[in-house]
Structure 1
Amino acid sequence: MLSFSTIRRINDDLAIAGQVTSAQLKEVAIEGYHSVLNLRSPNEVGFPDTEQQEAELLGLHYSNVPVNPETLDCDLTLQVLRQINVLAKPILIHCSNAVVAAAIALIHVAVSQGLTVEQAFQQVESLGLLHRSYEGDRVKVRHKGVRS
């Protein structure tokens, strides 16, 4: 059973977490997950330098798509969504504190249910995970009218 204090199952294909430990990676592999999607930047303090190697030794597919919540936009979101679509499921998506991972997972679910990326952003914003701002609130989401 996954450590739900850190790892939260969203649906049959996705779970989210903040930064995971080596033990949690092992647990994810044992639980039948096939992939890890790390949304952290290699320049971030505390970036797990050995995570890819550890994940791959456990038989997990690994991808790192750095997402800076301060500059998250539709183009980057679409890049992450494309990566989710090609990775073997189920996938553990993680960032430093699970907030960006949660936002991305919810956007993925909404888009897979037929919403545009813009509509999905609105749903995520309504949950308080992202705040649209052009003046510099917590997280800026730039929209370019891109549809998924």
Structure 2
Amino acid sequence: MENLKKINEQLSIATNQVTPTQLQQAAQAGFKSVLNFRSPQEEGFLSDEEKQAEAAGLEYVNLPVKPNGITEELADKIIQQIDYLPKPVLLHCKSGLRSGAMGLMYIAIKENISADTILEQGKEMGFDCNTFPQMKEFLITYISKHSNNH
């Protein structure tokens, strides 16, 4: 599958809106679930993505995230969903930045990695959170609060 960045064995990021063909490819590559961070109101949202994912044998969840509107409650829900979903999970949004940030947040919390370290790792992978300063600030605060490694 093209446009894929692997965070670890459990999580990978699609850096685009996935197509029905890519959902089939993801299932064939061994993915078990898809977590979509796009809002149905966004331009280019695949309206039947849930149906397409399920037809490919993938579990599907849509949790819309706005880069400037993420809350602690939503972040908690994302952590819980990733915990719950069968692995490996394919995370996606439009460009990969939101899904990359949410995937890195999850890894930081679960593996007790500091916000600075995980943001640097993200930057090396091509997820530069400086593009969305509010989201970056949220990640730093949330990870610092919920990780044992400040």
Smaller-chain TM-score bracket: 0.7 to 0.9
TM-score by length of 2: 0.80
Question: Is the 8 Å Cα contact of residues 97 and 128 (structure 2) preserved in structure 1?
Answer: yes
Equivalent-residue separation in structure 1 for 2:41 and 2:117 (angstroms): 30
Greater share of helix: 2
What residue number does 1:89 align with? 87
Question: Is the 8 Å Cα contact of residues 33 and 89 (structure 2) preserved in structure 1?
Answer: yes
What residue number does 1:140 align with? 134
Question: Is the 8 Å Cα contact of residues 16 and 94 (structure 1) preserved in structure 2?
Answer: yes
Give 1:108's match in structure 2, choosing from 106, 109, 134. Answer: 106
Equivalent-residue separation in structure 1 for 2:119 and 2:104 (angstroms): 11
Q: How many residues align?
A: 136
Q: Are the structure 2 counterparts of residues 129 and 72 from structure 1 closer, same or farther at C-alpha, using a change threshold of 3 Å?
A: farther
| Partner SS state of residue 140, structure 1 | helix
What letter corresponds to residue 29 of structure 1 in structure 2? A
Question: Is the 8 Å Cα contact of residues 74 and 146 (structure 1) preserved in structure 2?
Answer: no
What residue number does 1:12 align with? 9
What residue number does 1:56 align with? 54
Question: Is the 8 Å Cα contact of residues 109 and 146 (structure 2) preserved in structure 1?
Answer: no
Equivalent-residue separation in structure 2 for 1:63 and 1:138 (angstroms): 24
Equivalent-residue separation in structure 1 for 2:31 and 2:108 (angstroms): 22
| Partner SS state of residue 63, structure 1 | strand
1:15 to partner: Cα distance: 0.8
What letter corresponds to residue 92 of structure 2 in structure 1? H
What letter corresponds to residue 97 of structure 2 in structure 1? V
What letter corresponds to residue 7 of structure 1 in structure 2? L
Equivalent-residue separation in structure 2 for 1:104 and 1:23 (angstroms): 24
| Partner SS state of residue 54, structure 1 | helix
Aligned-pair RMSD on alpha carbons? 2.1
Q: Are the structure 2 counterparts of residues 108 and 138 from structure 1 closer, same or farther at C-alpha, using a change threshold of 3 Å?
A: closer
Question: Is the 8 Å Cα contact of residues 34 and 88 (structure 1) preserved in structure 2?
Answer: yes
Give the unaligned 5+ runs of structure 2. Answer: none
| Partner SS state of residue 45, structure 1 | coil
What residue number does 1:134 align with? none
Give 2:65's match in structure 1, choosing from 64, 67, 88. Answer: 67
1:147 to partner: Cα distance: 2.4
Question: Is the 8 Å Cα contact of residues 71 and 139 (structure 1) preserved in structure 2?
Answer: no
1:123 to partner: Cα distance: 4.0
Give the unaligned 5+ runs of structure 1. Answer: 132-136
1:84 to partner: Cα distance: 0.4
